[in-house]
Amino acid sequence: MLRMPHIMSLISAHGLAIHLAGRVILRDVDFAIHEGEIVTVVGPNGSGKSTFMRALVGALSPAQGHVTRRAGLRIGYVPQSLHIDPTLPLTVGRFLSLPIRREGLEIVAALAEVGLPDTLSKQQITALSGGQFQRVLLARALMGDPHVLVLDEPTTGLDQPAVAAFYLLIERVRHRLGCAVLMVSHDLHVVMSASDRVICINGHICCEGAPTTVSEAPEYRALFGHGTKGALALYQHDHDHAHDHDHDDHRGGGQV
């Protein structure tokens, strides 16, 4: 009998639970992401989205369960925010050379990959616009040729056209590199339309499904107009519980 090859996930979690400061932030989480997938994670503030991402990349140890990463896995990480002191003299080129020194051609190629001109390498990083800065962070993550790209709310603070442009860029990167993409969205109902799966977290995985883009629907036009080139989609939740408060085990505000 011909055996079909086993497709190993890039990152998987089984029975994952995370406790912080004596509180249960996540519980009973089973998850896997495979090559080439785009998975978007949504949930209200304090629901455990960022904690989930940190556990998957190995920055947090689980209280229960386990996380498995494929041997030799390369992860490119774009954080939710990165504060750089405005008085620090740091060019884009120098930033992209930290901690591994990069040659000029590597930096030019990385900037071109994310749609930025090579002249930007000599600009102070603190002088960039929000959209430019996010693309520089993405360029830095891509320089390691990742198998999976992890983005924690990468479009926070960007306007709608900039969000759409960033999502289209991510889709092109995924297509060229064949990498998986795991992304947190700050909106419960607006996600990247190219997502293969959307997972809603509120202390646990409470629902998941495919995003839906209906470009002629009044709800879509009201939210997005016609200028997003199909980059954004509406996500319809398939459950019967509310998301107007934090989950029972974490009642504080802010990101967790």
**173-207 residue pLDDT tens:** 999 889 999 999 877 788 898 899 999 999 999 88
112 C-beta neighbours (distance < 10 Å), count: 12
Does pLDDT of 73 surpass 80? Answer: yes
**In the prediction, which pLDDT does 255 show?**
55
With cut-offs at 50, 70 and 90, classify the pLDDT of residue 252: very low
Q: Is 124 exposed, middle or buried (0-12, 13-18, 19+ CB in 10 A)?
A: middle
Length of the chain: 256
Please tell me the distance from the alpha carbon of residue 254 to that of residue 17, in angstroms, as a whole number: 20
CB 44 within 8 A of CB 202: yes
Residue ranges of domains in the chain: 77-144
- pTM (predicted TM-score): 0.84
DSSP H or E segment with residue 219: helix 218-224
CB 220 within 8 A of CB 234: yes
Model confidence over 10-46: pLDDT tens digits?
A: 999 999 999 999 899 999 999 999 999 999 999 888 8
Please tell me the distance from the alpha carbon of residue 1 to that of residue 10, in angstroms, as a whole number: 27
Does pLDDT of 250 surpass 80? Answer: no
Does pLDDT of 168 surpass 60? Answer: yes
In DSSP notation, 104-115 reads HHHHHHHHHHTT
Residue 68, phi then psi, degrees to nearest 5? -120, 130
Q: Is 189 exposed, middle or buried (0-12, 13-18, 19+ CB in 10 A)?
A: middle
Please choose, from the candidates 181, 161, 157, the residue with its C-alpha nearest in 3D space to the C-alpha of residue 229: 161
Which residues face 11 on adjacent strands? 33, 69
CB 160 within 8 A of CB 127: no
User: Which tokens belong to 210?
Assistant: 């495919």
Does pLDDT of 89 surpass 50? Answer: yes
With cut-offs at 50, 70 and 90, classify the pLDDT of residue 228: confident
